[in-house]
Amino acid sequence: MKYLPINNHLFIKNRAKFTAQMKPKSLAVFNSNDTFTTGADSTLPFEQSRDLFYLSGADQEESILVLFPDAIDPNHKEILFLTETSKLIEIWYGAKYSKEEAIKVSGIKTIYWLSEFDKVFYDLMTEAESVYFNTNEHYRQSVVLETREDRFIKKCKQDFPAHKWEKSGQIMQQIRGVKEPEEVEQMQTACDITNNGFRRILPFVKPGIMEYEIEAEFMHEFLRSRSKGFAYTPIIASGYSACVLHYIENNKACKGGDMLLLDVGAEYANYSSDMTRTIPVNGKFSKRQKEVYNAVLRVKNEATKMLVPGEYWANYHKEVGKLMTSELLGLGLISKADVQNEDPNWPAYKKYFMHGTSHHLGLDTHDYGALKMPMEANMVFTVEPGIYIPEENMGIRIEDDVVIQKNGVPFNLMRNIPIEVEEIEDLMNS
């Protein structure tokens, strides 16, 4: 791993939060992600299951975490299973965790090799009455592949038909949504790396430059800062492409007079940042571009103030819609008649602002978090309003990452990233 070690106290706290909500005589199992092939003997870079990482800090393939608070043997209350390393593995693939290293990373005292799993797990199941399975219950999930977790669940139900089954997902939604200070620290680092990337490209962008050249500059800055790279597929969208919400081709030339939408974020220690800035390709906002940009910025600033404990996600988005309606009226993009005659299920403002304003952020870019319950302090949200005007060849979105506070306005993790028109212009022309 490129990132600096994380104090295992974080993972100890996370496990305590999870086990506190488990039913008596139950155990929970978390499997690592698969390593996916591309063809022949090639594989994609491994990405650890975020739930397993959250609970153990183990950032290695073919790992399994078992939590069993009521285990008769105190040594079996927490167990981490890992592939046994060897000199041959070290020669071919590099060093893997030793048992001592795994203890240091996770704070788990009992480490077994993966070859021992079946025997140990059978013994544990003779004591347990129910098993928590870690199914993907994210509100945006669209997984079509059978995962290592899926295969384990299928086999477990077959081998132990007399046990009861429980879901880890509901617990994970709750506890992962509220961040520990150590998590906010990693996300701040990710945001700081993103800041470095953005400041790097501001004087670099000129008419004629290719979108992928800008992507390469971001990637260079991210990698040299201990990041694996982008937290998600970057959007580098100039001109009309900025009106395509998930434009990822990044293969066009940037033209003078166009706006350039940059939706990028660095990853750090598996934690995501998520930034959007929109800048003029030629380094100077036109009068109209500045009008639209500042309208989006005002919505972002006012929306941020609404992210407070007790607020509901659904109501928050309705209120942001009112802010955007007012700005679109001021820009002459919609009329009072449009608003009076709007479909309640698709308000008038949706013609130019068709997506949501905020989502949870953390180990996943669209992170786990309870959306139907009131917001809580230490939840981390994006704030990302936008106005997209295809007829004017212009799309503008501005996005920051913020931490909800017990009192007052949220803390902006991207407070140091240039956002005002004048600062952007100065840096682009310096």
Whole-number pLDDT of residue 95:
86
How is residue 83 written in tokens? 């592939």
Separation between Cα atoms, residue 300 and residue 323, nearest integer Å: 9
Q: Average the pLDDT over 124-133 and give the result.
A: 98
Separation between Cα atoms, residue 357 and residue 352, nearest integer Å: 13
Whole-number pLDDT of residue 87:
85
Matching residue, tokens 């520990």: 180
How is residue 341 written in tokens? 């005659």
Domain of 201?
Answer: 181-428
Q: What is the pTM of this model?
A: 0.96
Output the average pLDDT for the chain.
96
Binned at pLDDT 50, 70 and 90, residue 81 comes out as very high
Q: How many domains does the chain have?
A: 2
Whole-number pLDDT of residue 25:
98
Separation between Cα atoms, residue 63 and residue 113, nearest integer Å: 9
Task: Tell me, yes or no, whether 36 and 149 share the same domain.
Answer: yes
State what percent of residues in the chain have pLDDT above 90.
93
How is residue 29 written in tokens? 């199992």
- Does 143 score more than 80 pLDDT? no
Q: Please identify, among 177, 202, 237, the residue that sits at the C-terminal boundary of a domain.
A: 177
Task: Tell me, yes or no, whether 64 and 120 share the same domain.
Answer: yes
pLDDT digits (tens, 9 = 90+) for 162-173: 999 999 999 999
Q: Does a structural domain hold residue 4? A: no
Whole-number pLDDT of residue 93:
84
Whole-number pLDDT of residue 403:
98
pLDDT digits (tens, 9 = 90+) for 185-236: 999 999 999 999 999 999 999 999 999 999 999 999 999 999 999 999 999 9
Task: Tell me, yes or no, whether 305 and 421 share the same domain.
Answer: yes
- Does 7 score more than 80 pLDDT? yes
Q: Average the pLDDT over 235-255 and give the result.
A: 97
Name which residue leads in pLDDT, 93 or 13: 13
Whole-number pLDDT of residue 331:
98
Whole-number pLDDT of residue 141:
81
pLDDT digits (tens, 9 = 90+) for 341-366: 999 999 999 999 999 999 999 999 99
Q: Does a structural domain hold residue 1? A: no
Name the β-bridge partners of 278.
261
Whole-number pLDDT of residue 328:
98
Q: Does a structural domain hold residue 367? A: yes
pLDDT digits (tens, 9 = 90+) for 12-26: 999 999 999 999 999
Task: Tell me, yes or no, whether 149 and 228 share the same domain.
Answer: no
Which CATH number goes with the domain that contains 35? 3.40.350.10
Residue 72 CB neighbour total at 10 angstroms: 11
Q: Please identify, among 123, 148, 177, the residue that sits at the C-terminal boundary of a domain.
A: 177
Q: Does a structural domain hold residue 3? A: no
Q: Does a structural domain hold residue 103? A: yes
Task: Tell me, yes or no, whether 131 and 143 share the same domain.
Answer: yes
Task: Tell me, yes or no, whether 188 and 101 share the same domain.
Answer: no
Whole-number pLDDT of residue 85:
87
Task: Tell me, yes or no, whether 281 and 383 share the same domain.
Answer: yes
Q: Average the pLDDT over 131-138 and give the result.
A: 92
Task: Tell me, yes or no, whether 132 and 278 share the same domain.
Answer: no
